[in-house]
Amino acid sequence: MASNENAAVTRKSQRVAFFSTKRYEQDAFMNALARADGNAEKQLDIIFFEHALNAHTALTCIGFTTVVIFVNDDICDQTIEILKNNGVNHIALRCAGFNNVNIRSAFKHNIEVSRVPAYSPETVAEHTLALMLTLNRKTHKAYNRVREGNFTLDGLLGFTLHKKTVGVIGTGKIGKAVIKILVGFGCNVLCYDPLPNDEVCQLGANYVPLARIWEESAIITLHCPLNEQSYHLVNEQSLVKMRTGVMLINTSRGGLVDNKAIINGLKSGKIGYLGLDVYERESELFFNDLSTEIIQDDIFQRLTTFPNVLITGHQGFFTEEALAEIASTTLANIVSKQNRILP
Ligand code: NAI
């Protein structure tokens, strides 16, 4: 198990273990520590581990009271029991979504859970648009063609986004930021959220029942959390209702779509374009260099064979500004009571 203890800070009080860290995050956190106004942050004794936190690795929490985790750490009931038995009293997520933490179990064991609820929603919104525009105008293919001296346009035909109907599912912070951009493009925006928001209507979008999103949208983009209600929201039944050639974009959580249904939809032509930044079993793949390995996930591999599929490896959050915001908020969450998830 690889671990990197290069950033230990000596003679400090609260011991904090970061899991699943990459160099760029370690740098962002060390910069945030240097910038922190409060003395409390500077008192943290921090160690960065590269390995993920899960039931197999949980014993590496020994000696720490706070663990800082990311999207693919697996904080199941078993992990939580080990954390509790070894003195951990706070799980700090350095991300917004918390579907990878068994919240009930954490509460049962009196472990606090905090997260970074908002760090530049525009960052993820802009990546969502990058997927839409790339899939549509095929700039990724044009880039390669031109470098090889191939200036033909066959196969690069796109459509004009202006006046197209786009369905936005989930109109929280990121959904709203996406709507603002789409309105700027001149799109007709339909949206669905169990908790409608006036601000979204003022932007010019219209709340409609989910059935109308499926039936009328040329593009459907998902911005809701993964929970029991939203699991496999895009499935065989919802696909039947969609327009032929629909563009589907998911930058939220992999479990929102049923990938077997998606593959059938791509094969039949029902789905004309697919843009993913998240994948249901991404924890086995994303954030790692597997370029010399045989990837065993046949569903993922099949998805990558379609010419109209664009997958990025959970990089929607990945800008300098967002990393800095995540780092400073996470540190503040550790030293204060802010952004706790309540029972
Ligand atoms: P948010 O909490 O601000 O908004 C979520 C919205 O979804 C809320 O308005 C809620 O009422 C709505 N919602 C809940 N259940 C729904 C359902 N079944 N159908 C439709 N809407 C539903 O969350 P935020 O910050 O906008 O994040 C949205 C998603 O983006 C989350 O899943 C989060 O995990 C993901 N995310 C992805 C990132 C990436 O790097 N790709 C980075 C940050 C967040």
Predicted confidence (pLDDT) per residue in 132-182, tens digit: 999 999 999 999 999 999 999 999 999 999 999 999 999 999 999 999 999
Average pLDDT over residues 81-94: 97
Res 129: pLDDT:
98
Topology annotation, domain 121-311: Rossmann fold (3.40.50)
Beta carbons of 6 and 54 less than 8 angstroms apart: no
CA distances from 216 to 135, 167, 203, 244 (A): 20, 8, 20, 11
Catalytic residues: 253, 282, 314
CA distances from 133 to 126, 157, 242 (A): 10, 12, 20
Looking at every residue in the chain, the average pLDDT score rounds to 95
Does the CB atom of residue 193 touch ligand 1 within 6 A?
Answer: yes
Does the CB atom of residue 265 touch ligand 1 within 6 A?
Answer: no
Does the CB atom of residue 174 touch ligand 1 within 6 A?
Answer: yes
Q: How confident is the model at residue 6 (pLDDT cuts 50, 70, 90)?
A: very low
CA distance 244 to 269: 7
Using the predicted structure, report yes or no on whether residue 5 has a pLDDT greater than 90.
no
Using the predicted structure, report yes or no on whether residue 13 has a pLDDT greater than 90.
no
In eight-state DSSP terms, residue 13 is S
Beta bridge mates, 15: 45
Q: What is the pLDDT of residues 178-228, one digit of tens each?
A: 999 999 999 999 999 999 999 999 999 999 999 999 999 999 999 999 999
Question: Ligand 1 centre from 223 Cα, in Å?
Answer: 5
Quick one: what percent of the chain has pLDDT higher than 70? 97
Res 290: pLDDT:
97
Q: What is the pLDDT of residues 47-56, one digit of tens each?
A: 999 999 999 9
Q: How confident is the model at residue 11 (pLDDT cuts 50, 70, 90)?
A: very low
Site to probe by mutation for ligand 1, drawn from 234, 252, 256, 326 as the one with most ligand atoms within 8 Å of Cβ, is: 252
Q: How confident is the model at residue 12 (pLDDT cuts 50, 70, 90)?
A: low
Using the predicted structure, report yes or no on whether residue 8 has a pLDDT greater than 70.
no
Position with higher pLDDT, 92 vs 7 = 92
Site to probe by mutation for ligand 1, drawn from 95, 193, 197, 317 as the one with most ligand atoms within 8 Å of Cβ, is: 193
Quick one: what percent of the chain has pLDDT higher than 90? 91
Atom of ligand 1 nearest to the CA of 172: 4
Does the CB atom of residue 121 touch ligand 1 within 6 A?
Answer: yes
Question: Ligand 1 centre from 228 Cα, in Å?
Answer: 14
Tell me yes or no: is domain 14-119+319-336 CATH 1.10.287.610: no
Question: Ligand 1 centre from 42 Cα, in Å?
Answer: 32
Q: What is the pLDDT of residues 306-332, one digit of tens each?
A: 999 999 999 999 999 999 999 999 999
Res 306: pLDDT:
98
Using the predicted structure, report yes or no on whether residue 95 has a pLDDT greater than 70.
yes
CA distance 260 to 252: 18
Position with higher pLDDT, 270 vs 11 = 270
Using the predicted structure, report yes or no on whether residue 305 has a pLDDT greater than 50.
yes
Average pLDDT over residues 40-47: 90
Atom of ligand 1 nearest to the CA of 171: 9
Does the CB atom of residue 317 touch ligand 1 within 6 A?
Answer: yes
Sequence-separated (6 or more) residues with CB below 8 Å from residue 138:
155, 156, 158
Res 37: pLDDT:
76
Q: Write down the pTM of the prediction.
A: 0.92
Sequence-separated (6 or more) residues with CB below 8 Å from residue 41:
32, 33, 331, 332, 334, 335
Domain boundaries along the sequence of the chain? 14-119+319-336, 121-311
Does the CB atom of residue 94 touch ligand 1 within 6 A?
Answer: no
Atom of ligand 1 nearest to the CA of 278: 41
Q: Does the fold of domain 121-311 match that of domain 14-119+319-336? A: yes
Q: ∠ at Cα 200 (195, 206), nearest 5°?
A: 85
Res 39: pLDDT:
76
Does the CB atom of residue 230 touch ligand 1 within 6 A?
Answer: yes
